[in-house]
Every structure is written in structure tokens, then in C-alpha cells.
Amino acid sequence: MTGFDAGWLREREPFDAAARDGDLARRFGTALGVGQRETRRIVDLAAGTGANFRALAPRIGGDQDWLLVDHDPLLIAAQAAEIMRWSRDHGWHCQAINVAGGGVEVDSGSGPWRARSRTLDLAQGLDDIDLAECDGVTTAAFLDLVSTAWLDRLCSLLARMGLPMLATLTVDGRREWHPALPADLALDEAFRRHQAGDKGFGPAQGALAAPYLADRLAAQGYEVATARSDWRITAAHPDMLLRMIDEATAVACETDPAGAAVFTGWAAERHAQTRSGLLSLEIGHLDVLAIPGERFRS
């Protein structure tokens, strides 16, 4: 699986936070309350440094116990420090807890919110997670990396346990550069072909992942809602614009080497627009909320 470093995850977190759909997050929190447990237990897949925990715990409120699962030991190691930093920024008390894999507990006045860590290769070990011991599943900026077979397995496990799921910030293939340039189409086509490559889970669903998840769970009796959660990167964020330009160019050149001259020329023009404060970018994402139908609650 392609890795992401903690610095990049920290850089993107404000854009994710601004893009997330608040109503779906609220409804997910309500769905967690259907069970009888006093403490709501949530599994976060491909948790990175814990951004989903930081975004959703305040919206859910009450006692919470999160299991933050990721394959990258460096990101797992960064989880406690990132959550402690976030807690300090909000004036909340946070302390380490003595559990296998490590973890922290945040006392926000609404909690406690516990976040435990687990290192696991999700490409091979999804079945190793004990979903019977949780009330809901989340993931963010992940499902576009996985295959149809992997999504089928996830949907089967969710339906078997009757668990709600909130999958946020899955890319949907839309990249809108303003102003437009003639080379945008060729570059975006190369970028989408790259997204469909194998990221360690088999051929990736890419932009098709969120609709596929929604359709599969709806077919299994879930109530499903989707909402756009687009990144909006304006001239006020030149560093992020430059990163997106350089990433798109590198990916396009790798996917279509014959177009390298066109792509590097495009990048030079986009760099100039960024320096002049003329460029903005929207990157399309979808949030998906799936809540079990009544047949799971009887």
C-alpha cells in the first residue's frame, strides 16, 4: 500500500476539516446510540495519525472508545503526539493509557474519549478486527485506494454485524482548475489512470469507490446518504496549490511519459499563476453514511 507521511497528513487536515459534511457526521453519531453500551466503540480504518478521531469525537460526544487501525508503524507512533497536541490546542486534558499498542485518553468535559492504536495490514487482515466489539466503523481518504473485492469484503462484514459506517473524503475524480488550461483534460485523464492502479489491495476503485460502497450497502438493506466534501484550495493557500501542481505533474508524467513535455509546460504555467495569486483548485470528494435498516435492529 502507498504510504503517507505524518507531515502531509498534518498539512491536509485543515482542508479535510473544512470539507467534511457535518450533517452526515451528526447522523452517524446518532446511529451509534442505537445500541445499549454506555461507551460508544468505533473502529477507524487506515487511521493515519488519528484525524478522523479528532474530527468526529467532538461531534459524537459522550464516552467513546476508538480503535485506530493503520498499517504504517510510523503513523501509529505519531497518533498519541498528534492527539495530545490537538487536545492542548483545545484546552483539554490528555494522558497516555497503558493498553496494548499504546493509546491516549482525552478529557474534554464531554468524554472521556479513548483512542487505542493497532498496527495491521488492512490489505490482508481486515477479518482480524473484532467488529463484534464495536458500534460503528469509520474511514477517511482511503477507499479510493482499494479494490472491488476488498470493498465487497468490507460490506459483507458490516452487514453481518449490522454496523453503521461513515466513509469520508473519498475522491470522486473531479479536479477543477481555475482558470482552465487546454492541457487540463490530458493531465486529469493520466491522473485518473494512475488512481486506478494497484495500491496494495488489487486494482483500485479510485473515483468509483464511494458510489460502489453506497450501492453495495443499499443492496444489503442499509439506509445510505452521500454528500459532497470537496477541497477548495484558493490563492490564499499557495503552498498547497504548488504541492497539488507538482503531484499532478509527477503522476501524469509517470503514467504517460510521452506527454511529459506538455505536462511540464502546464506545471510552469500553473506555478506562474500561483505566484500571481490567480489560481484556485477544487478537488471532488464524497462522504458516505450507511445505517443498517430495521432488519438489523430487531
User: For residue 67, what is the enclosing H or E element?
Assistant: strand 64-70
Strand partners, 137: 43, 165
pLDDT per position in the chain (298 positions), as tens? 345 788 899 999 999 999 999 999 999 999 997 655 789 999 999 999 999 999 999 999 999 999 999 999 999 999 999 999 999 999 999 999 988 888 999 999 987 999 999 999 999 999 999 999 899 999 999 999 999 999 999 999 999 999 999 999 999 999 999 999 999 999 999 988 988 889 999 999 999 999 999 999 999 999 999 999 999 999 999 999 999 999 999 999 999 999 999 999 999 999 999 999 999 999 999 999 999 986 344 3
Report if residue 239 sits inside a domain.
no
Report if residue 36 sits inside a domain.
yes
Exposure of 191 by Cβ count < 10 A (0-12 exposed, 13-18 middle, 19+ buried)?
buried
DSSP states of 126-151: GGGS-GGG-SEEEEES-GGGS-HHHH
Instruction: Report the alpha-carbon distance of residue 139 to residue 45 in Å, rounded.
Output: 5
Strand partners, 203: 198
Report if residue 185 sits inside a domain.
no
Report if residue 179 sits inside a domain.
no
Task: Tell me the residue range of the domain where 16 lies.
Answer: 6-172+200-232+284-296
- The predicted-structure confidence for 228-272, as pLDDT tens digits, reads as follows 999 999 999 999 999 999 999 999 999 999 999 999 999 999 999
- The predicted-structure confidence for 37-53, as pLDDT tens digits, reads as follows 789 999 999 999 999 99
Report if residue 130 sits inside a domain.
yes
Which residue reads 503522476 in cell numbers? 251
Report if residue 244 sits inside a domain.
no
Report if residue 14 sits inside a domain.
yes
Q: For the chain, how many structural domains are there in total?
A: 1
Cα–Cα distances (Å) from 171 to 82, 87, 192, 214, 294, in that order, read 24, 29, 10, 14, 30
Report if residue 212 sits inside a domain.
yes
What is the domain-level CATH number for residue 74?
Answer: 3.40.50.150
Closest alpha carbon to 21 in 169, 232, 291, 229? 229
